[in-house]
Structure 1
Amino acid sequence: MEAGHAKPELRELIAARRTELELQAEKLSQQLQEVRDELEELTVAERVARRLAEQLHAETEREATPSRGTGQVAGRAVLLVPQRERGADEAVLPADYQRIMKVVRQADGPVMVKQVCDGLGISTERARAEAMRSQLNRLAERGWLRKLADGKFTTTL
């Protein structure tokens, strides 16, 4: 046996080492991409956490300093709509409710929720319309408006 044939040739050693290094480089590249992906996720998580903290702070500030016409119910600021008494002026209502009353008063007849939303420039999407319906019902329950059998509202003034 010749010594040259018993040992792998230099080219084979180089090729084997190259393959080994290429596999290692591919694994490292995948690990680097995983690290970058996780860093990106952490950046997004930090942004979300910061926004949530800012929103919580803003809500806490709002609840700590209720404006005229608001009160606290279950720890949250809510608008107070007083029961209407004879001779009571709409000026006792919070500004949002005064605007609703103005739209209803200026209408040619009884109004639907959608008409009030349109009159106030508010979206008529379901959530907004239901919130407006709630406000109109509250005004009706407290004697400021009258709710008709067909679900329309009119002033009692």
Structure 2
Amino acid sequence: MVSLPEELQARETAARQRVEELQAEAAEVAVRLERARADLSRLEITRETVMEVLAELSVADVAPAVEAHDVPEPRETPAPHGIGVMAVPPWREGLVAGVLPDVYRDIVEIVADARGALQAKQIVPRIGLEATTAKIEGTRGKLKRLVERGWLDEDTPGRFTLARHDGDAGHVNSR
């Protein structure tokens, strides 16, 4: 018969071995997760860059041709305050929500489908996020950016609606 201390020692050894195995697995998963995050980041940046280039090309297609002698003198432009590309292009005639990054497009579509103005805390669960303060504030920042760029309106502080542009009502999801 095995004594109680010997049985406890055997179980402790087995548990320690299992913990070590799981730690090794966790380390391997952490490495794979970091690689996947790096891949995701590169793809997001690539997509945003492509969307910006496409948005600029669509502006160039719409803008009338300018003679070389009609080009105004280049003006000094302010230095950008951020690094990277503009993920949310300013709204303009003919531009559809499909050019926006996924989460921004989802937000615009949710607001467009709503019967009235929505608050950030109402939008967060609809885009699949947990309704925590951090997620609500992050979404509020995205909503403010969409207002700044002309996609949404904020007639009442904290309440967002689809921006109304002459003749485009109902065409948010058009392709």
TM-score of the superposed pair, with normalisation by structure 1: 0.61
Which of 16, 21, 35 aligns to 1:38? It is: 16
In 2, distance between residues paired with 1:50 and 1:74?
32
Alpha-carbon distance in 1 for matches of 2:4, 2:33:
44
Structure with greater helix share of residues? 1
Residue 160 of structure 2 corresponds to which residue in structure 1?
153
Provide structure 1 residue ranges, at least 5 long, that are not aligned to the other structure. 1-21
Indicate the residue corresponding to 1:96 in structure 2. Answer: 103
Whichever of the two has the greater Rg, that structure is 1
Residue matched to 1:69: 48
Letter in 2 for 1:99: D
**Which of the numbers 80, 87, 92 marks the counterpart of 1:85?**
92
Instruction: Tell me if the contact between 1:79 and 1:94 (Cα under 8 Å) persists in the aligned partners.
Output: no
Structure 2 contact 88–101 (Cα < 8 Å) conserved: yes
Deviations 1:31-51 (A, max 9, x none): 545533432221121121122
SS in 2 for 1:69: helix
Describe the superposition over 1:37-69 as per-residue Cα deviations: whole angstroms up to 9, x where unpaired. Answer: 432221121121122112112112212333523
Which protein, 1 or 2, shows the higher relative CO under an 8 Å CA cutoff with sep ≥ 6?
2
Name the structure 2 match of 1:7. Answer: none
Please report the RMSD computed on the Cα atoms of aligned residues, expressed in angstroms: 3.4
Q: Deviations over 1:59-100 (max 9, x none)?
A: 1221233352368x879xx98111223553333222332222
Residues 94/27 of structure 1: CA separation in 2 closer, same or farther (3 Å cut): closer
Show CA shifts across 1:19-42 (max 9, x none): xxx9xx887666545533432221
**Which residue does 1:117 correspond to in 2?**
124
Identity across the alignment (%): 27
Contact in 2 for aligned 1:113/1:133 (Cα 8 Å): yes
Whether the aligned pair in 2 keeps the contact of 1:112 and 1:153 (CA below 8 Å) is yes
